[in-house]
Amino acid sequence: MGLLIIDEKKCRKDGICARECPAAVINLSENSIPEILPDTEARCMDCGHCVAICPHDALRHARISAAGSPAIQPALVIDAARAEQFLRSRRSVRRYHAKPVEKEKIQRLIEVARYAPTAGNGQSVEWIVIGDGERLRRIRVLTVDFMRELVKNPQAVAAAPYLPATIAAWDAGNDSILRGAPTLVTAIAPASARLGLVDLTLALSYLDVFAQSMGLGTCWAGLVSGALENSAAVREAACIPENYTHYYSIMLGYPAVQYHRLPERKTPKITFVE
Ligand SMILES: Cc1cc2nc3c(=O)[nH]c(=O)nc-3n(C[C@H](O)[C@H](O)[C@H](O)COP(=O)(O)O)c2cc1C
């Protein structure tokens, strides 16, 4: 059996799937039924475009679950105004309730985040979710230790002038590192994923915006991520495996704040070349 399973009663032989295939591996047989020939199977990225585009529900892909490929529900399509407000109302949350985030909710967030695009449909992003208070404390302390070393270098302070104040706030008893978030989510990708950082940043962005629809808040954990990049001790505390060279963390929790307006941002510089 080939990769494509065609319901010949439903197939209109219109070649839509073949035209859409980004890897150009779908061939139309003599009777115009789509197929992937054995010698090109390896080039198929399993991206699912063929399944998604067939308007007649005539095509299945052997490596893509049919049950996991539901039809798009018109009633759930959001218009541009709703989408714009949803995206614009996402904000970094820096005050959280102590309430832990339920595992099922985190799982749902990550299940949605996996639909972010990945280079070559590599889907190599993995996740480390830390809710253990003692481990989070160690990550914070080690991050501050790293920052204390960093600020000894005037060039580092010039590049990140907020560092001394962040350390001072920590020393004054404020969690300036993880803002009291009960959960730290780190997206990781192995060294073999050439564009792993791009892939995981996109996945985290999906998680970031989707979280607000579930009543959750997030904030990108740049200080921890900077420490992860430079300190093996922080990587160990954050459970990053040795051969994973791409990572970034985000705070997650129930927000103790609510926002009411959509402050404007800088006017974008756009160069249209026509
Ligand atoms: C890559 C990245 C790292 C960040 N790191 C931190 C951080 O360590 N601590 C923090 O409080 N905010 C952090 N932020 C949040 C930014 O300050 C915030 O996104 C920006 O001020 C815009 O505000 P908004 O996210 O509420 O729209 C980070 C944001 C990004 C994108």
Is the CB–ligand 1 distance for residue 174 below 6 Å? no
Confidence of residue 220 (pLDDT cuts 50, 70, 90): very high
**Topology at the third CATH level for domain 4-61:** Alpha-Beta Plaits (3.30.70)
Is the CB–ligand 1 distance for residue 133 below 6 Å? no
pLDDT beyond 80 at 1: no
Q: Are strands 246-253 and 183-189 parallel, antiparallel or unpaired?
A: antiparallel
* Per-residue pLDDT tens over the stretch 262-271: 999 999 999 9
Is the CB–ligand 1 distance for residue 169 below 6 Å? no
The span from the CA of 116 to the CA of 66, in Å, is 20
- The answer to whether the beta carbons of residues 28 and 15 sit under 8 Å apart is yes
Distance from the CA of 191 to the center of ligand 1, in angstroms? 26
pLDDT given at position 179: 98
The span from the CA of 197 to the CA of 225, in Å, is 12
The CATH class of the 81-253 domain is: alpha beta
* Per-residue pLDDT tens over the stretch 56-81: 999 999 999 999 999 999 999 999 99
Global pTM? 0.95
Break the chain into its structural domains and give their ranges: 4-61, 81-253
Q: Which of 60, 82, 59 is nearest to 11 (CA)?
A: 59
